[in-house]
């Protein structure tokens, strides 16, 4: 058997990923974290999305702040002040069972069968690892949207070096990348290649996704001069079902937790045979997705989003 858990700071592009996870037919539950909004708000958002889609999945509430640093400031300029395009009144309760224990309990119960999609800061996964050090052997895999490695100039969207999910909690990201998870990282290098426009969104025939996307599209049109959006998080759910659409680069991953490169993800790019101070020594090798078949990814998203129509 295969099962999914999706860990989200549900924001607009997260909602596309959550919808695909729901459509996978393998979803066990949704865990929430701070990130695009507070964890109180993202828990409410996850419940609102699932209720709108008439899907009865449980939502579990996770971390309210990073392991070490202060939480990111949510000014709402991309996802709206509520994280979902500020277009729905959300009366859902923020109360929920604990996300960290849910992840660990599922991993123990379904040993080797659960894949965790993370589409926000990695705090929940790091906390779960602290509770259960054997988690990398219990989970089938982790597919994580985050990071940036500089391909075609995609180096960061929070600083010149750092992508938001990693920047929000680099200590958690460093703990996760140092652990022997079957980890696939989906960074800006590929997510910036997959842009959808209003026509693509309309082709999904999902009123909720269309409505919450308007705010993000307005932002893109104003600042990026393009009325469209990167569906960063959705690529985790696409990779889960169709890894063949993506090119895998194998490398250990290190994360800067201080200095001007704070929040930057690093892979081995030098070809030196021996390095005196090898920061990658003894680190596990992970999968990094730097490229993929954009046409196949977009065609699959449209087909999957219409599966139940
Ligand atoms: O950098 C992109 C990531 O930051 C996505 O997960 C998006 O939802 C935002 O949280
Ligand atoms: Ca996200």
Instruction: Output the 3-class SS for 196-248.
Output: EEHHHHHCCCCHHHHHHHHHHHHHHHHHCCCCEEECCCHHHHHHHHCHHHEEE
DSSP class per residue in 269-297: ----S--TT-TTTTPPPEEEEEEE-HHHH
Known catalytic residue at 232: yes
The total number of residues written for the chain in this structure: 309
The tokens for 192 are 């910036």
Alpha helices in the chain (DSSP H): 12-23, 39-52, 99-109, 123-131, 135-138, 164-168, 170-178, 188-191, 198-202, 207-223, 234-241, 294-305
CA-nearest residue, atom 1 of ligand 1? 164
Burial (Cβ within 10 Å: 0-12, 13-18, ≥19) of residue 96:
buried
Q: Report d(CA 143, CA 140) in Å as an integer.
A: 10
Ligand 1 pocket: which of 14, 33, 37, 173 to mutate (most atoms within 8 A of CB): 14
According to CATH, the topology of domain 3-305 is Inosine-uridine Nucleoside N-ribohydrolase; Chain A (3.90.245)
Candidate of 36, 76, 124 to mutate for ligand 1, largest count of ligand atoms within 8 Å of Cβ: 36
What's the 233 CA to ligand 1 centre distance in angstroms? 7
Express each pLDDT in 140-199 by its tens digit: 999 999 999 998 888 999 999 999 999 999 999 999 999 999 999 999 999 999 999 999
How far apart are the two ends of the chain, measured CA to CA in Å? Answer: 26
Position 9 scores a pLDDT of: 98
Task: Please state the separation of Cα 28 from the chain's center in Å.
Answer: 17
Ligand 1 atom at minimum distance from 188 CA? 1
Q: Give dist(CA 117, CA 18) in Å, integer.
A: 10
Would you state the pLDDT for residue 286?
A: 98
Distance CA 213, CA 10 (A): 13
- Cα 120 to middle of ligand 2, angstroms: 4
Ligand 1, atom 4, residue with closest C-alpha? 164
Report residues whose beta carbon is within 6 angstroms of any ligand 1 atom. Answer: 9, 11, 13-14, 35-36, 119-120, 145, 157, 163-165, 232-233
User: C-alpha distances in angstroms, 76 versus 38, 73, 84, 85, 307?
Assistant: 11, 9, 9, 9, 32
- How high is the pLDDT of residue 296? 98
pLDDT at 234: 98
Q: Residue 77's pLDDT is what? A: 86
Name the pTM for this structure.
Answer: 0.97
What is the whole-number distance in angstroms between the Cα of residue 77 and the centre of ligand 2? Answer: 14
Q: Is residue 246 within 8 Å of residue 145, measured between CB atoms? A: no
Work out which ligand 1 atom sits closest to the CA atom of 35.
Answer: 10
Closest ligand relative to 169 C-alpha? 1
Instruction: Supply the pLDDT for residue 4.
Output: 98
Q: Are 84 and 10 in contact (CB under 8 A)?
A: yes
Domain boundaries, the chain: 3-305
The residues, ordered by sequence, that sit 6+ positions from 240 with a Cβ below 8 Å of its Cβ are 4, 24, 115, 117, 143
Asked if 60 and 26 count as a contact pair (C-beta separation under 8 A), the reply is no
Question: How many angstroms separate the alpha carbon of residue 164 from the centre of ligand 1?
Answer: 6
Least Cα distance to 143 among 53, 263, 242, 283 occurs for 242
In angstroms, the Cα distances linking 303 to 132, 213, 241 are 38, 19, 13
Q: Phi/psi at 246 (nearest 5 deg)?
A: -125, 150
Q: Which one-letter DSSP state was computed for residue 132?
A: -
Counting ligands in written order, which one lies closest to the CA of residue 159?
1
The pLDDT of residue 224 = 86
Res 274: pLDDT: 83
Q: Are 45 and 39 in contact (CB under 8 A)?
A: no
User: What's the pLDDT tens digit per position in 94-107?
Assistant: 999 999 999 999 99
Q: Which residues of the chain have pLDDT under 70?
A: none
């Amino acid at each position: 058997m295969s099962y999914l858990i999706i860990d989200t700071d549900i924001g607009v592009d997260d909602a596309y990923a959550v919808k695909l996870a729901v459509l996978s037919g393998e979803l066990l539950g949704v865990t929430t974290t701070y990130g695009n909004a507070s964890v109180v708000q993202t828990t409410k958002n996850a419940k609102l999305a699932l209720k709108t889609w008439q899907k009865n999945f449980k939502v579990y509430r996770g971390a309210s702040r990073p392991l070490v640093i202060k939480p990111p400031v949510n000014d709402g300029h991309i996802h709206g002040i509520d994280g979902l395009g500020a277009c729905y009144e959300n009366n859902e309760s923020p109360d929920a069972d604990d996300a960290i224990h849910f992840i660990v309990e599922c991993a123990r119960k379904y040993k080797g069968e659960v894949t965790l999609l993370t589409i926000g800061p990695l705090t929940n996964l790091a906390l779960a690892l602290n509770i259960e050090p054997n988690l990398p052997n219990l989970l089938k895999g982790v597919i994580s949207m985050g990071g940036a490695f500089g391909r075609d100039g995609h180096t960061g969207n929070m600083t010149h070096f750092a992508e938001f999910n990693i920047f929000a909690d680099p200590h958690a990201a460093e703990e996760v990348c140092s652990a022997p998870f079957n980890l696939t990282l989906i960074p800006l290098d590929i997510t910036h290649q997959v842009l959808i426009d209003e026509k693509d969104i309309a082709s999904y025939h999902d009123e909720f996704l269309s409505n919450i996307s308007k705010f993000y599209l307005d932002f893109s049109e104003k600042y990026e001069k393009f009325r469209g959006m990167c569906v960063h998080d959705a690529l985790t759910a696409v990779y889960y079902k169709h890894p063949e659409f993506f090119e895998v680069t194998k490398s250990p991953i290190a994360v800067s937790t201080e200095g001007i490169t704070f929040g930057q993800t690093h892979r081995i790019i030098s070809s030196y045979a021996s390095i005196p101070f090898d920061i990658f020594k003894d680190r596990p090798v992970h999968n990094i997705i730097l490229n993929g078949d954009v046409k196949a990814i977009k065609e699959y998203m449209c087909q999957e989003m219409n599966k139940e129509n």
